Amino acid sequence: MLESLKTHLQNSSTLRCVIIGSNENVFSAGHNLKELIAKVGRDYHENVFNLCSEVMLTIRNLPVPVIAEVKG
């Protein structure tokens, strides 16, 4: 999912704004720690963190407004 998001953000010619939100009533501190614990191995964890860093930098460098929708 993160890879397709990154690709879409980088290649969209019609993107005018990004709104980051959730339909769930949750707060995210970052990674799904239960998922990371279930998968073992340095390579897996390194790949997850590298991809997340790439996505965050892609969002940071977008030429359009980025809005975080926060509930509460």
Q: How many structural domains are present in the chain?
A: 1
Q: Which domain holds residue 21?
A: 2-68
Residue 26: name the closest of 70, 68, 63, 57 by CA: 70
Amino acid at 11: N
pLDDT per residue as tens digits for the range 9-40: 999 999 999 999 878 776 666 667 777 776 67
pLDDT of the residue at 22 = 79
pTM as predicted: 0.74
Reduced DSSP (H G I as helix, E B as strand, rest coil) percent helix, strand, coil of the chain, to 5:
50, 10, 45
